[in-house]
Amino acid sequence: MRSSSRYGLRAHHLAVFVSALFSVWACGVNEGGPEDPGEPTLSWTNPGSSAAPFPSGQGGRYGFGSPASVTDIAVWDIDISPNGAGLPSGGSTVTEGLKVYQKKCMACHGPTGTEGPFDVLAGRVPGDEFQFAEDRSLRSTVGSYWPFATTLFDYTRRAMPFDFPGSLSDEEVYGVVGAMLFLNDLLPEDAVVDSATVAEIIMPARDRFIPDDRTGGPIIR
């Protein structure tokens, strides 16, 4: 943990907030940023209540809430990480996936994933250039913009098809993910799709993303 200064840290943040509020209301005029609250003190007061005491429960905790079991967690723990963590077992094929796509996706995303009426899913740019900032007419697609195929699995399973969200079996999700990758020329038509396929495929846009470098101050980025 942020260890010994855990409460101190919180005290510090609350103090910043309280002092900011105070300086604004008290002075009437805003003269720049919040004042430095100085050394954090151990006895903090909560801005919402008068003199909230330290938690009196066991181990310095309030003791509210109940333990979540492994079973509880499993019901909701659906996210997939870029390294493939969270991908279920099993798999499917592009061929099977195209059948699911035609039945459950095509009406909204078009026969080849390019026709709409909703989000354009397929399409690559020659040389996989990434000129979205230069050319505002470019539409971002799975093949041209998405950095990870794991995201495609995660999103499709949680949110699609739009009219029956969350209704696909894991096998169907593997299939349509394969179909979308095929429609973007990222998998051959006879490919098998499983956790290894989804975790290992290198998406054309993978290295296009950089951290936010805006910092405030006079420079416009």
Partner 1 sequence: MRKDGKKIPDASEGDGEAPPNELRTVSRRALITGAAATAGSVMTVGAARGLGIEQSSLDPTRVPGERPVEVGSRSPFETPGKQLSGSAGGSSRTPHHELHGILTPADLHFERHHHGIPQIDPTQYRLLIHGMVDRPTLFTLDDLKRFPQVARLHFIECSGNGGAGSRTDANPRMSPQAMDGLLSTSEWSGVALATLFEEVGAHSDATWFLAEGSDAAVMSRSIPMEKAWDDAMIAYGQNGEAIRPEQGYPARLFLPGWEGNTSVKWVRRLELSDRPFMSREETSKYSDPILGGKARLFSFVMDAKSLITYPVYPDRLTSSGFVEISGYAWTGRGVIDRVEISTDGGGTWADAVLQEPVLPKCTTRFRYAWDWDGRPAHLMSRAIDETGYIQPTLEQITDVRGPGTRYHYNSIRGWRVNSNGSVEFQPPA
Instruction: Name the segment binding partner 1 (CB under 8 A); options: 88-96, 135-143, 170-178, 179-187.
Output: 135-143
Instruction: Name the segment binding partner 1 (CB under 8 A); options: 80-88, 93-101, 184-192, 194-202.
Output: 80-88
Residue 3 or 188 with smaller CB distance to partner 1? 3
Q: Pick from partner 1, ligand HEC, none: which does 50 bind, CB < 5 to 8 A by kind? A: none
Residue 118 binds ligand HEC (CB under 6 A): yes
Q: Which of 142, 145, 151 is nearest to 180 (CA)?
A: 142
Instruction: Name the segment binding partner 1 (CB under 8 A); options: 35-43, 59-67, 179-187, 189-197.
Output: 59-67
Q: Which of 36, 89, 188, 221 binds partner 1 (CB under 8 A)?
A: 221
| Encoded tokens for 60 | 């310095």
Q: Which of 94, 105, 181, 191 binds ligand HEC (CB under 6 A)?
A: 105
Instruction: Name the segment binding partner 1 (CB under 8 A); options: 99-107, 151-159, 173-181, 186-194.
Output: 151-159
Alpha-carbon distances, residue 172 vs 91, 122, 141, 182 (angstroms)? 8, 19, 21, 15
| Residue 170 burial by Cβ neighbours in a 10 Å radius (0-12, 13-18, 19+) | middle
**Whole-angstrom distance, CA of residue 118 vs CA of residue 37:** 51
Phi, psi angles (nearest 5°) of residue 121: -100, -30
Q: Which of 72, 115, 185, 189 binds partner 1 (CB under 8 A)?
A: 72
**Whole-angstrom distance, CA of residue 193 vs CA of residue 181:** 10
Residue 113 binds ligand HEC (CB under 6 A): no
**Whole-angstrom distance, CA of residue 78 vs CA of residue 91:** 17
Alpha-carbon distances, residue 184 vs 121, 177, 181, 189 (angstroms)? 8, 11, 5, 11
**Whole-angstrom distance, CA of residue 60 vs CA of residue 54:** 7
> Site residues for ligand HEC, window 143-202 (CB under 6 A)?
152, 155-156, 160-163, 168, 176
CB of 141 to partner 1, least distance (A): 9
- Residues lying near ligand HEC in the complex (CB under 6 A) are found at 104-105, 107-109, 118-119, 121, 152, 155-156, 160-163, 168, 176
